[in-house]
Amino acid sequence: MFDDLRDLYQEVIFDHNRNPRNFHVMEDADRKVEGFNPLCGDRLTLFLKMDGDKIIDASFQGSGCAISTASVSLMTEIVKGKTEAEADALFQQFHEMTTGKEDEINLEAIGKLAVLAGVREYPARVKCATLAWHTLDAALKNEQASISTE
């Protein structure tokens, strides 16, 4: 199963890196947070449009490695329509999956984000995958300060 997951991982990473989803400035965003990974040089600005506690739109701008770009692209797709609590739960699950703190990966709960589980095999790349999610966490808490993985 993990060989198939590894192949899918590579395909999805390449696709989202070449054709990132939701890659644009959102002029009417309710929340805007910048994230930076000094280790790899990844930079992003995350934009969220909220309706109460529901994320109705998400987009980003920035540049980074393939893993970072794919992670934020997937994340912006998945969080649309989620409540803040649901997005926070996804953040927790994703973080546990990528940092290796959770041995069993609940593929149903994490959905297509499971393709990024492979980064746990490469500790130097975990920060690339989690940058977007830490930036989302700050946006959900309505923090204005820039986020750094260091």
For 100: left if phi > 0, alpha if psi spans -120 to 50, otherwise beta; the answer is left
Contact 118, 27 (CB under 8 A): no
Residue 20: inside a domain: yes
The yes-or-no verdict on residue 108 having pLDDT over 70 is: no
Give the three-class secondary structure for 24: coil
Does the structure show a pLDDT above 60 at 121?
yes
pLDDT for residue 106: 67
Residue type, 48: L
Residue 122 belongs to what domain range?
A: 2-143
Taking a C-beta distance cutoff of 8 angstroms, is the pair 131, 148 a contact?
A: no
CATH number at residue 78: 3.90.1010.10
pLDDT tens-digit series, residues 43-57 = 999 999 999 999 999
Helix (H) or strand (E) holding 95: helix 84-99
Look at residue 150 and tell me if it is in a domain.
Answer: no
> Would 37 be classed as within a structural domain?
yes
**According to the model, what pLDDT value does residue 5 have?**
60
User: Stretch 61-75: mean pLDDT, rounded?
Assistant: 95
Quote the number of domains for the chain: 1
